[in-house]
Chains A and B, each alone.
Chain A
């Protein structure tokens, strides 16, 4: 890529920091140039997050329908699966599968709820109600 071809499409990262790119100058010698971002990459992130948002919405519907506990909602929201959640929260996978059932979740001790709340960066109250304000 040549220096004057470096994309400057302002994306989410570009608002925080520019990226260093190795590029060639007029004589073909390598140098660096800063980029604000590239639409191709931003779009790849966008459709990935759209997919995640859809999963979160589906999880929320399930929780409201009493088919799953709020842990499912927060797990999807945090882009986790049972394996990752298990290692963060310190529960076994089979325990988490149980906690995903509303009737079991409603009987969880405060200590266990606290563990989930910390992993998801929310309060226990927010964990129970799914009432979280967007970051």
Chain B
């Protein structure tokens, strides 16, 4: 038996914006590129939770809650979305099979630890990965993982295992799909762009407390300066490695996200011709470059080439500089919506 939807696999920089773009294409919405999905979905984020440990290291995220990009983008475009979690594994597979039979491509949140095609080095208990199931062939599911160049396959057992991964943000079999939509006009896209910018301005500037958004970046920068004294060089190095892994993980991260956002602002200009967007795109490129420079500094420390307090101060200062650039850029972006 071979069922297949209209879905076509395409690789992306980030799993969720890639899944969103690919799912929208499969329902006939052709205009939404990965950067547009990322921007409409307000994909840029930062949070550092100092009291929580992940893999014995700091809990730092450069992304919002899993599912938020898909949800926000579709909502803004007026596309109906169904999302479902399961307590029963049988039910989870039954609904997936039913939707595939009906010709849907179905998004799934999964954990990467048991993903059979991932390299071992990348298999941590990380549960906010996204992929699309879009058919069945020879008893295996056809998988579009936006990180991979080609489509891939999983047995029902393998798919069930990653859909029911455990730990923080356990996906609980979560699946989602979008209903058919006829015409998306430029006006709708323009409005969705404005909505996305507004949400991202809120997430980066206005979430209360010191740990989220640009304040969180500055907070982390200040903390890093104390890491050497507090944890010793070895552990502080591991902490910085974790920061870089979160920043540059598969499906990209902090540095890469800034570039996607900069690309989004350039593409937004086609719908909303305000020169300021092009200037701000440049600012986010600058922030992305600085995130990468910070990663190089961090690697100097965890590889043992650097290690003085001065080196840690410099590392912290990079984050403080980034926070300043992004704060200013988002403030200026908040004025775009007046156009």
Chain A residues near B281: list those with CB within 8 A: 30
Chain B interface, DSSP helix/strand/loop, else mixed = helix
Minimal beta-carbon separation of A38 from chain B (angstroms): 7
Place the interface of chain B in its size category. 35 or more
- Which B-chain residue is minimally distant from A50 (CB atoms)? B238
Interface centre among B121, B150, B250 (most CB of A within 10 A): B121
In the bound complex, residues from chain A placing their C-beta under 8 Å from that of B231 are: none
Query: What's the least CB distance linking A61 to chain B, in Å?
Result: 19
B288 within 8 A of A: yes
Chain B, 36-56, CB within 8 A of any chain A CB: 55-56
Across-interface contacts of A135 in B (CB, < 8 A) = 120
A18:B259 contact, CB within 8 angstroms? no
Partner of A22, one of B56, B123, B237, B262: B262
Within 8 A of B (CB), among A3-44: 12-13, 15-24, 28-30, 32, 38-41, 43-44
Instruction: Tell me which residues across on chain A come within 8 A of B332, comparing CB atoms.
Output: none
Which listed residue, B35, B147, B245, B292, touches A48 by the CB 8 Å rule? B245
Q: Determine if B166 is an interface residue (Cβ-Cβ < 8 Å).
A: yes
Partner of B259, one of A12, A22, A88: A22
The yes or no answer to B311 lying at the interface (CB within 8 A) is no
Cα–Cα distance between A24 and B263 once the two chains are bound (Å): 9
Q: Which residues of B contact A64 (CB under 8 A)?
A: none
Instruction: Select which of B56, B147, B245 is within 8 A of A44 by beta carbon.
Output: B245
Q: Counting CB contacts under 8 A, is A45 at the interface?
A: yes
The answer to whether A45 touches B125, judged by C-beta atoms less than 8 angstroms apart, is no
- A34 CA / B34 CA spacing, docked (Å): 15
A80 within 8 A of B: yes
Once the chains are docked, how many angstroms separate the CA of A101 from the CA of B296?
43
Residue B13 interfacial (CB < 8 Å): yes
Residue in A19, A40, A79, A83 whose CB lies within 8 Å of B250: A19
A interface with B by C-beta (< 8 Å): 1, 12-13, 15-24, 28-30, 32, 38-41, 43-45, 47-49, 51, 78-80, 83-84, 87-88, 135
Interface residues of B (CB under 8 A from A): 11-13, 35, 55-56, 113, 117-125, 147-150, 166-167, 170, 237-238, 240-242, 244-245, 248, 250, 252, 255-256, 259-260, 262-263, 266-267, 281-282, 285, 288-289, 292, 295-296, 298-299, 302-303
